[in-house]
Amino acid sequence: MTRRVRRPPALPLVLAGGALIVLLLPLLGLLTRAPWSDLWASVTSEDAVRALRLSIVTSLWATFLAVLLGVPLAWVLARVDFPGRSLVRALTLLPLVLPPVVGGVALLSAFGGRGLLGGPLDDWFGIQLTFSTPAVVLAETFVAMPFLVITVEAALRSMDRRYEDAAATLGAGRATVFRRVTMPLVAPALAAGAALAWARALGEFGATITFAGNVEGETRTAPLAVYLLLDHDPTAAVALSLVLLAVCVVVLIALRGRWLGLR
């Protein structure tokens, strides 16, 4: 038999090249248009710092809430058998595919001044969520939590539950089993899910501007500031975008390390 090294066919190579252009050319554009000389000044301007700080604070709160509420939800979906479980799981993951602006409208109709829960909250306690920093956190949690739930639930389903049996025979009650065995075993997935949720919360735009508005210092997060700056100070917009890009690259590298076992 003659030895022939098979070459990859041309068509997929060409199409893959097209894919790379679509994915990477915008990033290249961002880098070439970056105002490298006064980048530091742009990024440390009062408005930029305020928007960045707000973004970081709200996205961390959103991540915290997503973990606090999302881990129990993932556990229930993975471990408790109840009628309509598949439907609940599908609905839980809806924000993943929903256009964020639709999510914002939906949030308004639930938590807005005349919303399902927002109305009573306002009437009875005088609490108004809209156009406040908590509204930003709520919008970010809404879009970010499904990432955490889907990741942690998959880990809970695929983990070897016999470890939990082993812990029980060693005298560990349910809470101890959860804390000392279940959680540590799904910790890598929890970290990955939390990182994904955080990155999603940090970049949130559509639901935030719809539900929380664009109030300087209150609800104007970095993505909103970028959008606004693009009109009158494109250089500053590019600078701020670069900061967000840098944060995302760091998260991606950390995640890849986990997924590829390169830690």
Partner 1 sequence: MTLTVAAQVQAGSLGLDATVEVEPGETVAIVGPNGAGKTTLLRTLAGLLPLDSGRIDLDGTVLDDPAADVLVPAERRPVGVVFQDYLLFPHLSVTENVAFGLRSRGTRRARARRVARDRLADLGMTELADAPVHVLSGGQAQRVALARALVTRPRLLLLDEPFAALDATGRASARRGVRRDLDAFDGIAVLVTHDLLDAAALADRIVVLEAGRVVQTGTLADAVARPRSDYVADLVGTNLLRGHARGDRVVLDHADLPTTPREPNELVVADARDGPVFASIHPHAVTVHRNRPETSARNVWSSTIAGIEQYGGRARIRFDGPVPLVAEITEAAIRELGLGVGVAIWVSVKATEITVFAA
User: What are the residues binding partner 1 (CB under 8 A)?
Assistant: 160, 162-163, 165-173, 176, 180-181, 184-185, 187
Q: Rounded to the nearest whole angstrom, what is the least distance from the CB of residue 82 to partner 1 in the complex?
A: 20
**Cβ pair 150, 192 in contact under 8 A:** no
Based on CB atoms, which residue is closest to partner 1, 160 or 231?
160
Q: Rounded to the nearest whole angstrom, what is the least distance from the CB of residue 158 to partner 1 in the complex?
A: 14
Based on CB atoms, which residue is closest to partner 1, 113 or 188?
188
Least Cα distance to 204 among 126, 147, 119 occurs for 147
Q: Rounded to the nearest whole angstrom, what is the least distance from the CB of residue 36 to partner 1 in the complex?
A: 45
Least Cα distance to 218 among 90, 50, 7 occurs for 50
Based on CB atoms, which residue is closest to partner 1, 192 or 222?
192
Based on CB atoms, which residue is closest to partner 1, 166 or 246?
166
* CA distance linking residue 184 with residue 181, whole number of Å: 6
Q: Rounded to the nearest whole angstrom, what is the least distance from the CB of residue 229 to partner 1 in the complex?
A: 46
* CA distance linking residue 250 with residue 247, whole number of Å: 5
* CA distance linking residue 168 with residue 90, whole number of Å: 32
Least Cα distance to 205 among 59, 70, 60 occurs for 59
**Cβ pair 214, 224 in contact under 8 A:** yes
Q: Rounded to the nearest whole angstrom, what is the least distance from the CB of residue 256 to partner 1 in the complex?
A: 22
Based on CB atoms, which residue is closest to partner 1, 33 or 161?
161
